[in-house]
Amino acid sequence: MTIGSSYNYPSFVAREAARTKRSAKSKWAARFPNPPDLCFDYRALAEQENGIAKATDPQHKICIIGAGVTGLTAARELYRCGFTHITLIEQSRRIGGRHLTIPGSPHSPMSHTPFEMGAMRMPFFNRTDEPPTEGRSLMAYYAKAFDLAFSDFANPGSQWVTSTGIYLREGSMGGAPTPQMLIWKNDDGQTPPPGEELQKVYAKWKAFADRMTLHVAEVYASPEWEVMWAAIVEKYESISFRDLVSMPAVQAWDERSPGDFGGMGMSAEESAIFYAIGIGDGSWGAFYDVCSLYPLRTAIFGFSSQLQLIQGRVDSLGDPLDSPYLQSEAVFDSMGLSFDKPRYIGLAALDECLLFMKTDETGKSFYEHCRERNNGLLTDSSVTKLKKLTNQKTRVYFNWKHSHPEQTQEHFDDFDSVIMTLPSWLIETRIKLENFTPQMLPFETINAYKTAHWETSCKVFAPLKKSFLSKNSKIPQAIVTDSFIHDVYTYRYNDNYSYDCILLSYTWEDDATKLASFTDKELVRKCAKELDRILMNSTNIQEKISPYISLDQAVVQRWITDKNALGCAKLYRPGTYYDAVGLMKYNRDFAHVSGLYFSGESFSVDAGWTEPCFRGAVDAVIHICNKTAAAFNGGFSMSDYPHYKVGT
């Protein structure tokens, strides 16, 4: 998504929209920009001084499966509410899940440039006239609460890079007599991409996005919003993004058809360009055949606006602030097994803060609470079965010391509630569900998470010499190509670290699958060689980038073969949107009977983002609090919590 990143909607449009204030009647209503399905301000609930609620049944036994950001958030918020019998089970020897921050200098105890092998750029859902931490999102809330440092992410086509190189069709784009790399300088954030062909594509995308964003911003959170969103869903849920790009454009929105914003009206040639260069932060080609609602949600509702790079819980030099267990040689779970200790660098600092930072309500961190119990936090433990018992409890079976088959032991414990946060393909392939009746777990729910489409993704990161960003003026800072490397990002965390970083290749779906046969070492060399070829073939560049890269220290992450993930992001194809929404409805409709709560990105419609993980976690907490008759804070009640809509 590259071609539209210079236009800072929807955050700018939100500032200009007529409806900018929430009425007294909608204390818990979200404001634009925010996700469209559930117009609810999760931050308003979580940021209260005493948390979401006060538990009246603190000994209600809760098991959380998975210590990614979803599981960690659920654990922390339940602990803030006063629940004291929480067990968090993690299969790996680290926390964070698909927040995977790799130390670029693993032997350095402190400062290093991290490589974000998973999620790497965070939307805070703030408007243009406010700092990111004032955005109405849980990401903004936790970043502020944990004193996380961040900076504008160096997206291609944005003002946060010195220039973006565009190399399409072997350098023939633009009509020069020799192969050229088009150079896009966008210092003011308003400069369109270079060349007539790109500007035509940009104009068609911008016209569509402007029209839709303007009307959405005016109606969002109003009484008319649910009707408009239902109409948008009805119009677009059964068509692919590829079809949306070529659909005829409309000249004006008609209130009699509130969901119809037409298409982008691109020709086949324009669509091919758009396929490669996208709409805001990298190539969109891999997403061309997903449901068109996914890119619309991403682009129109704030997911791709003002994205931030999380530097960590660090000072201006990039060194970690004084934080719990930072100086510890090792950290241990409740059974005495060691797992990765916190470094508070990069995005992983968010997950570490959720576990290790004290809560005001208890004076302890969830980790400290776990260490006082022999089953609070269990790592290297793989859940194998959930069995519904006649006493309505759920028995959770797990293999302890999962990574050492010769030492593995099967354990089980019984719980009143179980929160499942795993990627859904892991649920189907690793966990047996026994004695859950259709009234507890309908076939439609099982089928929806079993047939969910999980995307693969491949990242190739390496250290980059400081001299590249400090002195090189020929090679663009970001590069977008239609070759197999696709997108190249270079950026700096701060001047204090010994080197910068380069994301040599960032690919999704088929573009990542085609790289599967190469070893990591082969792939690193192949990417560097291809990038050098492109730069040398561009007669306006003709300089190699490989001398600036420490290729021997490169790191490759392939999410589809990661045994703790089996995919990078859960998407949905045309015609399956209602299945995805049905998964989000499960907690309200069935969890009070089954005792099983589905939470996180697997049970969301916002693929590949952290915010739905937060919201899914809080959703599970809300429903467990409601089931156990906890006293909600701030006057909140379930009547204030809107319902997900499925169908018209």
**What confidence tens digit (pLDDT) does each residue in 256-275 have?**
999 999 999 999 999 988 88
Give the pLDDT band (50/70/90) at residue 129.
confident
| pLDDT number for residue 645 | 78
Token pair for 83: 């629940």
- Res. 8 pLDDT band, cuts 50 70 90: low
Q: Above 90 in pLDDT, residue 465? A: yes
Q: What does the block give as tokens for 491?
A: 């950026």
**Which residue do the tokens 């220290």 mark?**
553
> Which residues are CB-contacts of 109 (< 8 A; sequence separation ≥ 6)?
none
- pLDDT for 83 equals 98
Exposure letters 587-599 (e unless 16+ CB within 10 A, then b): bbebbeebbbbbb
Contact by Cβ (8 Å): 336, 323: no
* Confidence tier at 374 by pLDDT (50, 70, 90): confident
Give mean pLDDT, residues 50-55. Answer: 97
pLDDT at 22 over 60: no
What is the pLDDT at residue 106? 58
pLDDT at 1: 41
Report how far residue 517's alpha carbon sits from residue 493's, in angstroms, rounded to the nearest whole number.
32
| Residue 187: CB atoms within 10 Å | 10
The confidence score (pLDDT) of residue 26 equals 77
The pLDDT-based confidence of 15 (bands split at 50, 70, 90) is: low
Q: Is 236 helix (H, G, I), strand (E, B) or coil?
A: helix
State yes or no: pLDDT of 282 exceeds 70: no
The residue type at 400: W
Q: What are 390-449's pLDDT values in tens digits? A: 999 999 999 999 999 999 999 999 999 999 999 999 999 999 999 999 999 999 999 999
- Confidence (pLDDT) at 191: 87
Question: What local confidence, expressed as pLDDT, does residue 277 receive?
Answer: 79
pLDDT digits (tens, 9 = 90+) for 84-108: 999 999 999 999 999 999 987 655 5
Q: Give the type of residue at 219.
A: V
Residue (of 473, 645, 463) closest to 546 by Cα position: 463
Residue with the larger pLDDT of the pair 431 and 4 = 431
The Cα angle at residue 70 between residues 624 and 622, in degrees rounded to 5: 20
Looking at every residue in the chain, the average pLDDT score rounds to: 92
How sure is the predictor about 611, in pLDDT bands with cuts at 50, 70 and 90?
very high
Asked if pLDDT for residue 485 goes beyond 50, the answer is yes
pLDDT for the residue 6? 41
Instruction: Examine the pLDDT at 12 and tell me if it is beyond 80.
Output: no
pLDDT of residue 554: 95
At 396 the pLDDT is 98
**Given its phi and psi angles, is residue 306 left (phi above 0), alpha (psi -120 to 50 degrees) or beta?**
left
Please list, in sequence order, all residues whose beta carbon lies within 8 angstroms of the beta carbon of residue 144, skipping any fewer than 6 positions away.
133
The DSSP annotation for 575-620 comes to T-HHHHHHHHHHHHHTHHHH-EEE-SGGGSSSTT-SHHHHHHHHHH
Instruction: Give domain 193-300's CATH number out of 3.40.50.300, 3.40.50.970, 1.10.405.40, 3.40.50.2300.
Output: 1.10.405.40
Model pLDDT, residue 16: 57
pLDDT at 24: 40
Place of tokens 């209130």: 255
Q: In the prediction, which pLDDT does 281 show?
A: 52
Q: In sequence order, what E strands does 347-424 have?
A: 377-378, 381-388, 394-400, 409-415, 417-420
pLDDT at 14: 55
Q: Is 509 strand, coil or helix?
A: helix
How far is 643 from 83, CA to CA, in rounded Å? 26
Report the percent of the chain where pLDDT is more than 90. Answer: 83
Q: Can you spell out the DSSP letters for 418-465?
A: EEE-S-HHHHHHH-EEES--TTTS-HHHHHHHHS-EEEPEEEEEEEE-
CATH fold match for the domains 55-98+332-446+577-640 and 193-300: no
DSSP assignment, residue 340? Answer: P
pLDDT of residue 466: 95
In one-letter notation, the amino acid at residue 505 is S
Spatial strand order of the sheet with 86-89 comes to 377-378, 86-89, 62-65, 417-420, 596-598
User: What is the pLDDT averaged over residues 173-185?
Assistant: 93
Q: Where are the domains of the chain?
A: 55-98+332-446+577-640, 193-300
pLDDT score, position 18: 44
Task: Encode pLDDT of 312-327 as tens digits.
Answer: 999 999 999 999 999 9
What sign for the dihedral angle of Cα 509, 511, 512, 514?
A: positive
pLDDT tier, 19 (very low <50, low <70, confident <90, very high otherwise): very low
The predicted structure's pLDDT at residue 648? 52
pTM (two decimals):
0.95
* pLDDT reported for residue 278: 74
Query: Is 3.40.50.10490 the CATH classification of the domain at 55-98+332-446+577-640?
Result: no
pLDDT above 70 coverage of the chain, percent: 94
pLDDT tens-place string over residues 545-593: 999 999 999 999 999 999 999 999 999 999 999 999 999 999 999 999 9
Comparing 108-117, 344-353, 385-394, the range with the smallest average pLDDT is 108-117
Tell me what the mean pLDDT of segment 328-342 comes to.
96
